Amino acid sequence: MSPLDLMSKEDWLGILSRIAQETGMTATLTDDKGNHILEEQGQRYPLCLKIREKKASRTFICSQTNVAMLEEVKRTRRPLIGECEAGLLRMVVPILSDGNLIGQVTACGLVAKEEEEVDPFLIAKQVGASEGEVEDLATLTPTVCKGDVEGVAAGLHTELNA
């Protein structure tokens, strides 16, 4: 079963657009294995764009985090807020059908106000840039209150799985 079996593509795009607006992050609908189905770009900031322009950095920074968070969500069936390897905030909300995980809504790309800053050394190494360039890009990345994102995740979890 796929999330697209629960509602139309247009309805999912509406939800993703709303989540992107509420969080300021890019929102994505995936299947139960983490494969992208739909995405609402929202606002992509220069640091996230720099990470995503290289396949190797997407694999190390984005995919590694996606796999770890997906495994946690499969186990708990609850929303999860964490950080990618670069230190950017990531939200995962499971989509359940008869108690089984059939997909997830994710959002990512901002820095949590309450957390440490991004890791310029790690990012620079992965994207092939200088630490100074990464630090400059990081200053252009807005912050978001982790509690606000947790509230969005909890509300979406209730909406999708009530």
pLDDT at 42: 65
Compute the average pLDDT of residues 144-150.
92
The tens digit of pLDDT for each residue in 48-81 reads 888 888 777 777 777 888 889 999 999 999 999 9
Burial of 158 from C-beta contacts in 10 A (0-12 / 13-18 / 19+): exposed
Contact of 34 with 102, CB cutoff 8 Å? no
Instruction: Check pLDDT > 90 for residue 85.
Output: no
Express each pLDDT in 112-145 by its tens digit: 877 667 778 888 888 888 989 988 888 888 888 8
Q: Is the entire prediction scored with pTM above 0.95?
A: no
Domains observed in the chain: 3-161 (3.30.450.20)
